[in-house]
Amino acid sequence: MKRWFVKYWPALVILGVSLILLRSFFRPGFPETHDGQLYLARMANFHLAAIDWHFPVRWAPNLNYKFGYPVFLFNYYVPYILALVPVVLGADFELSFKLLAIFSLFIGGFFWFLLVRKKFNPSAGLVAGLLYVAAPYQMLDILVRFSVGEIVAMGALPALLWAFDLLITKPGKIHFLLATLGLAAFSLTHNILFLFGAPVLAAFCLADAFSLPGKKFKRLSPVILSFLLAAGLTLFFWAPALLEKKYTNIDQLDQMQVEYANHILNLKQMIYSPWGFGYSYPGPNDNMSLQLGPIHWLIVLISFWLLVKTWSKSKKIDPLWLFFSLVFVVSVLAMLPLSLPVWRVLPLVRYVQFPWRLLAFATLAAAGLSAWVVKSIPKVSWVLTAAAVIYVTALATKPGGWFNWDNYYYYEFPFNTSIMSANTPRWFDENKNIKLTPGHFFDLRGISSFVELAWDTQKHLYQIDAPDDTEVLERTSYFPGWQVTVDGRKTEIDYQKTEYPGIITFKVPAGKHLIETKFTENTPARILGDSVSLVSLVALLIILETGWLLKPTKPK
């Protein structure tokens, strides 16, 4: 026990600081944030889908006024899987999300400690971990926005750097499995941070390999294989997310295509901006703090000064030092107005929404650069780290308000939880359909009787007794993949009725019939994604069994 404490006591310090920063979470209720209630409602629907054994989770059964909503087809769900653990153990949704935030904040700092301790020393690891935990953007994400995907993704990024460093330095089955599954999980944690984070991670692996002796390609070959397998393992999500978005409103929202231009920052905001609980507006007058933080800036500038000094003396620079410097510079420049011409030509840019999200990578880079400051001037680094912790603790550890709802509120949350109904099926008309009276199914002629047998997330089963041919309308928004059978025979769905557009409607002949409506994987995108993911899983098992490309690299 004593030996463990000597080795890992910095982790306890990081945990303690994490708890101090989020000490307000130990009271009942949940902080008033921009998106907290929306993600809690998604959590409730994810829980319902999990109870119904709806895997992979695609459909949110109670959102969109209980017409259902394909939100999990297009949005990450690893955070909800993690939050299910405390829910299964008896926690309510609000408590589970608070525990998830504390866990993610600590995990990010802890894995920074592990990585930098290995590369430098325990002191440098502790400094990097504390600076990452005590970053203003972390507090903004948790206490003002509560973007649950970003919160978990920021915890995952240092863990991924650590896992791929293990794979590069000591290739082996366990390290390959950690890196591959970690990257796959990261890709399902936050869509946008993954799209930016994957190239950053790839560049880190390249820099890490070139900082070590031995054959570079041999070190990188298991990394390339890990990236390919992670992509294959998660294609069950990405194929439908990319290929079926055309059936939603997202591509028709012109505002989404230009919104990023309204959220470019100026340099002064990134150095310091007042703490607030408002929103991001066009121009520099945002009502929330979009700063990297003055202490973090000072750490970075000292690191840059040391880098130039080192280069002038030896003409040699650690590739990892250069990597973190470039990540910081590129992240900052990409948030400034001079980057707008580049933003306008980038693919998928309209889905980014907020360029200041790149503060996540500037924060990551600042923590990494601190290692070289500790190596060169440890006393200064400790003073600055303590100042950063105190600064953030004083700045932003109190939420703007609190609410407290039981789980039932989130199960019954009526709205769709998306900006401008982005994930709503494009043929669904909320204004018309919301006029329907409560109930799961209707006979448009009003002549039939129904007996409900089951109503789960992905399967609706009921009997109808129709004295004459009629049409049945279900309180379910149509999306590709829904199929209806009458007495086991597939029937055509009409979802373009003028009176109730976007609702599952179908014809039933006179008599008693058994109706089954199922949400299936029978679309080209889902069949492709599921098939590739299954093949990738088999390939992963074969590689783990054979050890292909996973033999240790011996330095020359």
DSSP H or E run through 195: helix 191-210
Strand order across the 459-466 sheet: 449-455, 459-466, 511-519, 482-486, 489-491
Of 403, 405, 417, 402, nearest to 41 by C-alpha is 417
pLDDT per residue as tens digits for the range 408-454? 999 999 999 988 788 999 999 999 998 887 788 888 778 889 999 99
pLDDT in tens, 36-94: 999 999 999 999 999 999 999 999 999 999 999 999 999 999 999 999 999 999 999 99
Domain range summary for the chain, segments of one domain joined by +: 2-253+379-410, 432-519
Record: fold of 432-519? Immunoglobulin-like (2.60.40)
Q: What is the per-residue DSSP string for 77-98?
A: -HHHHHHHHHHHTT--HHHHHH
Q: Residue 506: in which H helix or E strand, if any?
A: strand 503-508
CA-based nearest residue to 413, from 102, 47, 84: 47
pTM of this prediction exceeds 0.75: yes
Band of pLDDT at residue 255, cut at 50, 70 and 90: very low
Q: Which amino acid is at 181?
A: L
| 502-539 tens-digit pLDDT | 999 999 999 999 999 999 999 999 999 999 999 999 99
